[in-house]
Structure 1
Amino acid sequence: MKPSFSISKPKSQVKNKIEGKKIIECPNGTVPILRNTKEYVARAQYWEKKHFNPHTVGSHGTHYAGVKSQGDGPYHGLAAYMSVHDLNISRDQTSYASIFVGSGDNKKINFIQTGWMVNPSLFGDGRTWSFGVWKGANGTGCYNTICPGFVQVSKTDLLSAPFPYPHKGQERAVYASIVQEKDIGNWWVTDVRYDRPDVHIGYWPKELFDLIGNSVDMVGVAGAVQASPSGISPPMGNGQLPSEDENKSAHVKGVQIVHSDFKYSKKLKLEKLLDDNKCYGLKDGKKQFFKESNLFTYGGPGGNSCGI
């Protein structure tokens, strides 16, 4: 299966030499699915309730730094390049970065997110994993494939898998997109490639949602953390406060949005998201923010004085 996209891939590809996700080789006619144990399902349900949601700001102990576009829609998706990092955090914390699409009102919320995450409690180890999470009609939704919803299509790229440790001199990153099919309405997640064909991992059927079957009113990309119950917040990004130098900071670039015409655009009206400037930061890149590079750096060390 392939998406019936009537739009092309992002116009300006990020040319960095990157180390991506681990590739699985499944036989023709089969796809890789992460094994769901009872413990994994229970942990995923717990963390799904605490997940950062840009419509409702977040749960107790959540902090975030990023950008969103709202009020200039409707939108049908976005793409962004996110640097990937290893972090040393406790089992009752999580730290991640993701692109997101969604719509909401006072009573209902629909959203989809995908990116990378360090969450020892959820994944059972301290490695950095890719992930996807969704919230749909009647409060349904979950991480990855622990409940019926996401349809895995690629036989090589999983929605959720550990990133291999980087080779010396290589940057780990994920260049991902969430894009809606024009005619069918399903929401596809794709690994965008610079010099190779994109890999369409799979999709969330439009029938899962009651607010985003036709479009969304908000898209964005952000780093986020969830503090432990003791109040200690984990590091975000690469654990360093951001600088203008992307080589020293966690960074996002190549942000492009799919507007109502189902075409990618680099002309963005973005709102900055930063709820805590004591423990985390958000900076423009070397080129001016919202210009051609669409680059920003973010992150911070966390600690025990980051607020609630």
Structure 2
Amino acid sequence: MSRSDELKTMKWINARLKKINKPFVKSIKSSDGDIIDCVLFNLQPTFDLPEIKEKMNLDPPEMPKGHDSTTMETEIKQLWSSKGESCPNGTIPIRRTTASDVLRSMSISKSVKKVGRKGFSGAQDHEHATGYVTDGKFYGTKALMNVWKPYVAKYYDFSLSQIWVSSDVPTHDVQTVEAGWHAVPILYQDNNPRIFIYWTPNSYRSGCYNLQCPGFVQTNTRIALGAAIYPFSTYNDKQYDIAFLIWKDIKSGDWWLKAGSEMIGYWPQTLFTDLRDHATSIEYGGEVYSRNLHNHTSTQMGSGHFPNEGFGKAAYARNLEIVNEDNTLNPVPNLKAIADKPNCYGVKSGYSKTWGNYIFFGGPGNNPNCP
């Protein structure tokens, strides 16, 4: 790269950083190296769009009926606040983006971007093991998913567990809102599990993670999207799960996210067209990306163990429910399960009185049956 090209690149990166990283009133250094900035609520990146800022929704959403607010929900713990640090009132915590973050993102723009969902360019590099329900009008979903720290074999690989709320109308762009946890070494320099969100209005041609572009409005003062979470589940030992609830608020029409005991924020309905009204499919489970072209990657999905090993050993999504047009949570109807390569990563669905509808999913990737 010539000196002139280097200067142009650095100028672009600095402009990008100025757009992403907002003025802060306090910064906190996490034990894993992250820097969390406490940014005034009205200065968060999404308010770079005047149309969102003008229609800012500060009213609390109406919870779906059937959501038991008296039940103790898991508190999400993150490394940056593990020593009692917190952001002041009126601010939200945002993981700071560095110049090296931007450079790494540029180098993987065609992999970590979610182009790999089924039916899209690059899908051959992405493998899924999921439970799903389609062909309906859905206004949200809830699932409890256990958190793991999967082995990620290559710097460019990633592994995640999440829920997808999608509008997938033939001849129209797919639109989604998504939430879960992922391990992405090239973005974070480690394989710690991190809470994340994603959205796209146009079949993954654009959209973004967390607060890296205008879109999601964060209202929460305690959770930093993209920051490491702890503790996580360990094999044949204690399991830690997080309840993810995404639903369309009947008052505002916006898509809200609750994770554990925390209301995180919302995607304004104006970001979408078809999804502005309702979703047509809901999906739960895991995804692995790898550019390994010869032997199958040994990047793990979930715990790295197959679903038939069951509780304490495999990843799960349990108590699967959907929100109907009356804003009521009901058990997922007609749950189906599919795995792209079941000898590498599998999925198994079931039902019990305590867990309702559930799936176990995951696997080790490379093994004698998945060469």
- Counterparts of 2:227 and 2:147, CA distance in 1: 13
Q: Does 1:99 align with 2:160?
A: no
Change (3 A) 1:284 1:210: closer
What is the SS of the residue equivalent to 1:282?
strand
- Aligned partner of 1:276 in structure 2 is 341
Change (3 A) 1:152 1:239: same
Q: Does 1:250 align with 2:290?
A: no
| Equivalent position to 1:20, from 76, 81, 86 | 76
What is the SS of the residue equivalent to 1:248?
coil
Q: Does 1:140 align with 2:206?
A: yes
Residues 166-210 of structure 1: CA distance to partner in whole angstroms, max 9, x if unpaired? 498542222111111112121111123xxxxx3211111111112
Amino acid at match of 1:132: I
In the alignment, is the contact (CA less than 8 A) between 1:257 and 1:266 conserved in 2? yes
Higher helix share: 2
What is the SS of the residue equivalent to 1:32?
strand
Query: 5+ residue gaps in structure 1?
Result: 193-197
In the alignment, is the contact (CA less than 8 A) between 2:159 and 2:300 conserved in 1? yes
| Equivalent position to 1:37, from 98, 111, 125 | 98
Residues 40-68 of structure 1: CA distance to partner in whole angstroms, max 9, x if unpaired? 34527444434543565972221111111
What is the SS of the residue equivalent to 1:171?
coil
- Counterparts of 1:55 and 1:256, CA distance in 2: 26
Residue 253 (structure 1) shift: 0.4
Greater Rg, structure 1 or structure 2?
A: 2
| Equivalent position to 2:128, from 64, 76, 85 | 64
- Counterparts of 2:116 and 2:71, CA distance in 1: 27
What is the SS of the residue equivalent to 1:240?
coil
Q: Does 1:78 align with 2:146?
A: no
Residue 269 (structure 1) shift: 1.6
| TM-score (norm. length: structure 1) | 0.85
- Counterparts of 1:294 and 1:57, CA distance in 2: 32
Q: Does 1:7 align with 2:7?
A: no
Amino acid at match of 1:97: S
Residue 34 (structure 1) shift: 1.6
What is the SS of the residue equivalent to 1:65?
strand
Q: Which has the higher contact order (CA 8 A, sep 6+)?
A: 1
Query: 5+ residue gaps in structure 2?
Result: 1-57
- Aligned partner of 1:195 in structure 2 is none
Residues 247-297 of structure 1: CA distance to partner in whole angstroms, max 9, x if unpaired? 221111011100122110015221212111111111235739xx9621221
In the alignment, is the contact (CA less than 8 A) between 2:306 and 2:362 conserved in 1? yes
What is the SS of the residue equivalent to 2:187?
helix
Residue 154 (structure 1) shift: 0.5
Residue 228 (structure 1) shift: 2.5
